[in-house]
Amino acid sequence: MIPRYALPEMAELWSDQARYETWTKVEVLATEAQVRLGRVPEHVLPDVRAARVPPAARVAEIERERDHEVLSFLAAWCEDMPDESARWVHWGMTSYDLVDTALGHTMARSADLLIGAAKRLRRVLADRAVEHWRTVCIGRTHGVHAEPVTFGHKLARFAFAVDRSVERLTAARAVVAVGTISGSVGTYALIDPAVERQVCERLGLGVEPAPSQVVGRDRHAQLVSAVAMLGSCVEQIALELRLLQRTEVGEVQERRTIAYQGSSAMPHKRNPTTSERLCGLARLLRGHAYAVLEDVALWHERDLAHSSVERVALPDSLMVGHYQVTKAAELVETLEIYPDQMRSNIDHTNGLVYSSAVLAGLLEDGMEREKAYRVVQAAADRAARSDVDFATALGEHGIDAGELRPERFLARQDVILTRLETLRELED
């Protein structure tokens, strides 16, 4: 992923050097387990522990000759060891015993970062929802004014969506946090299963219960799909905020510094660029999810078709997801909200948004449904096409609508607030 859309703490986990640090850790743990089992001489262990993590540049240099990253890593790492010790390194293992176990560790750590960021977004949404629970605005369906809601209610919907994403990510984190050290086709032919168990325990990983040469790629697909789902939830937030920032709506605005410049030609422009960026990144995440789903079906005990996809899609998904959700929290936390404009927009249609309440009142008074609907509809059409307000148009049909205020729609919405307060009690 390009640095523009990657935050340092996540990008570092996926750097080449970090990968070789994790590979080194797995190899040291495997050697320690082999020594405990009596499979590798004890005098080897100090040399293995003392060997430095090979620089990424050195691994790349050797790989240009060998065309095999794991063998190049092992060669570079073993340069710091006596030959007598180096020959015991990677004993009984195949390449993906190292790669997949290390990858499970990295994905688990990455998922932890992402879950933490998602929980922060959940908290920010819930806090601002409570802050604006009484801020009345118009609800829209099909892009058209429907009935009054509150801005807090809008944000509450998003908070619960992010909470569901946290649940999906947490479940996926458990699924990807596995390793395998089981040999060339997963039969433990040349290595004791105790090595696998001890290494995975030390890394905080579970064990693939029926390995081939690799762990099942459905695990990776579940995580990347959960990241894409979170991305789509963030997109829903960003899309709503984009729409509310339109000139003719003007209910919210992204906070900008005095240095901000929205257009090279039009100095007045304040564009919703952060929201737009978040929507665009969601498209990337869905594309990566599709690619990783394609990796689930491999030939026989494995082929290598998944490797090139994973080198791009796994780090990019987690970096983009982490960046997107972090920036979404910042956006919502600093969002400028304009209650007066929201109230003004409710009144824009001269009372038409109260038609459902008027209809319900007529039905309660005993009017036949089709007649009541047509009378209210006729009054609404007259108000929409003239300077007559809705209440006056209703009066022409002999209907006294009483006081038309948005609060009459909101008497029961505090049941949602109770649920939201429960969500706010969850720990970050």
* Positions marked active-site: 142, 263
Supply the Cα-derived Rg of the chain in whole angstroms. 30
Mention every residue, 6+ apart, whose C-beta is less than 8 A from residue 316: 1, 284, 288
> Nearest CA to 223 among 185, 290, 269, 169?
169
For residues 101 and 110, the answer to whether their CB atoms sit within 8 Å is: no
SS3 253: strand
As given in the structure block, the two tokens for residue 400 are 């006294």
Q: What is the DSSP code string of 281-341?
A: HHHHHHHHHHHHHTTS--STT--SHHHHHHHHHHHHHHHHHHHHHHHHHHHHHH-EE-HHH
Give Cβ neighbours of residue 326 (< 8 Å, ≥ 6 apart).
7, 117, 120, 121
CB atoms within 10 A of CB 8: 8
Give the type of residue at 258: I
H/E element, 176: helix 151-176
The burial class, CB within 10 Å (0-12 / 13-18 / 19+), for 36 is middle
State which H helix or E strand residue 147 sits in. Answer: strand 144-150
For residue 302 the two structure tokens come to 């494995």
> Token digits for 63?
């790989």
Amino acid at 113: L
β-pairing, 206-207 vs 252-253, is: unpaired
Handedness of CA 250, 255, 258, 262 (dihedral sign): negative
Instruction: List Cα–Cα distances, 413 to 134, 161, 345, in angstroms.
Output: 10, 18, 21
Q: Tell me which residue has tokens 């003392």.
A: 50
Q: What are phi and psi of 235, to 5 degrees?
A: -60, -40
Q: Alpha-carbon distance 375 to 177, whole Å?
A: 63
Phi then psi dihedrals of residue 148, to 5 deg: -65, 145
402 three-state secondary structure:
coil
